[in-house]
Amino acid sequence: MLHRLDLETDKRQELEAVFQKHGFTDYKWINPREIVVSQWVRMKCMYGCGEYGRNAACPPSVPSVSECAQFFHEYRTAVIFHFEKKVKKPEDRHRWSPKVNLKLCKLEREVFLAGYQKAFLLFMDSCGLCDDCGGTRAECRAPRVSRPSPEAMAVDVFTTVRQAGFPIEVLADYSQKMNRYAFLMVQ
Ligand code: SF4
C-alpha cells in the first residue's frame, strides 16, 4: 500500500532544485513507512560479508535491527536515489562508489542547511571513503561524512525499491549492470 507523502509540493520542488543542482536526476519520493526493515538482511551482513566487523559504518558498528526500524519510523518523508553502473572488476566499484557517496554527503548537508534538521543520508554502497578503514565508530577516520548503507541499516533494498518502481536483480557476476540505491531521510 502506498502512503501519502508528508511534504508540501512547493517544498518538494525546492529540494528537487537542489537535487538537480548536484546532478541527481533519478530519484523517487517515498513515505518511510514503505521502507522494509528485516532481520534477514542483518544475517547476510553477519554471515557472508567480508566487511562485517571491519568496516566502521557496517554491522556491528550500527544500531540493532529494532533500533533501525525505530529510526525509519521517526521520518515522514524520504527520497531514494538510483544509480546504474557496469564495472569490469570488483575494484572498479570501490573506486566509483566513494565519489558518488561524497557528492551525496554534500547534498545531505545542503538539505540540512535548508532547514531539514533530521536530514540523514544512507550511502549507496558500504562506506569506502578511506583505503584503510578504522573498523569501529570510535576509530573511523572521517566520522563527519561516514554514513551506513541502507543494507547496513537492515533495509530490504530489493523489496523496498521494487515497491517504489525501481529495477533491481540479483547479479551473477560483475559484468552485469548494477542498480544501486542511496536513501536520503528528509523529515
Ligand atoms: S570514513 Fe573511512 S574509517 Fe570511517 S567507516 Fe568510512 S572507510 Fe571506514
The pLDDT, as a whole number, for residue 3 is 63
Q: Which helix (H) or strand (E) holds 18?
A: helix 9-21
| Length in residues, the chain | 187
Q: Is the pLDDT reported for residue 2 higher than 90?
A: no
Closest Cα to atom 2 of ligand 1: 130
Q: Which atom of ligand 1 is nearest to the CA of 57?
A: 5
C-alpha 132 – ligand 1 centre gap (Å): 8
Closest to 24 (Cα-Cα) out of 104, 84, 108:
104
With a 6 A CB cut-off, is 155 part of the ligand 1 pocket? no
CA distance 187 to 121: 12
Segment 106-131, tens digit of pLDDT: 999 999 999 999 999 999 999 999 99
With a 6 A CB cut-off, is 141 part of the ligand 1 pocket? yes
The average pLDDT across 76-105 equals 93
Closest to 34 (Cα-Cα) out of 115, 147, 155, 176:
155
With a 6 A CB cut-off, is 142 part of the ligand 1 pocket? yes
What is the SS3 assignment for 15?
Answer: helix
Q: Is the pLDDT reported for residue 1 higher than 80?
A: no
Percent of the chain with pLDDT over 70: 97
Q: Is the pLDDT reported for residue 136 higher than 70?
A: yes
C-alpha 171 – ligand 1 centre gap (Å): 26
CA distance 22 to 136: 30
